[in-house]
Structure 1
């Protein structure tokens, strides 16, 4: 019998496959404590905006992240209401904090640099 804590194997496989990519996994860890916009991810990962957008699209397609418009910018955050958030949170709890990346953005004056 299925308990409230179990997750469908197909869904678990899909989530783990998405989080198996280092960039997406790092994005999720960053989003655990900081809302970020695309331009911030571009600066952190030193990747193109289209590449970052593709990663975010994959996470958004299965609703692991949500977006919120703030003025002219769109900020991404973890969807804590996702039915499989306990699994995602458990995975992220085993990873090192990524606060240094955010601190580096602040030091470079790039925190919220969407223009």
Structure 2
């Protein structure tokens, strides 16, 4: 058990948030790589507003942080989050998603926002 236990209700809210396949996959991708919304749009073949909504929910929960690089916003896993130990343990049980970024690279779409 971690040093500080997380309130059950707050843990349930985080797990509910990660119960969505798209958001869970995003978190797994961000475990190894930073990414921008445009990359997630290509990976999930969905609209930019839908992806932005998913990212906003993750950011509002403190699971994801954003960094501005020029005109682009790059997202990364927030390793300072009180939920990070819980999320990290969960991610250990999920298959690697690096192939998704490799597919983008092969299509010439990796970091298409820079």
TM range (shorter): over 0.9
Shift of 1:5: 4.2
Shift of 1:69: 0.6
Residues 62-95 of structure 1 deviation map (CA, whole Å, 9 limit, x = unaligned):
1100000111111000000001210000001100
SS of residue paired to 2:88: helix
Residues 17-66 of structure 1 deviation map (CA, whole Å, 9 limit, x = unaligned):
00000000000000000000000000000000000000000000011000
For the pair 1:26 / 2:25, whether they are aligned, the reply is yes
Shift of 1:8: 0.7
Q: TM-score, normalising length from structure 2?
A: 0.95
Structure 2: distance between partners of 1:53 and 1:20: 17
> Structure 2 unaligned runs (5+)?
none
Structure 2: distance between partners of 1:75 and 1:32: 14
- Over the residues paired in the alignment, what is the CA RMSD in angstroms? 1.2
List structure 1 segments (4+ residues) > 3 angstroms apart after TM superposition. Answer: none
Q: How many residues align?
A: 113
> Structure 1 unaligned runs (5+)?
none
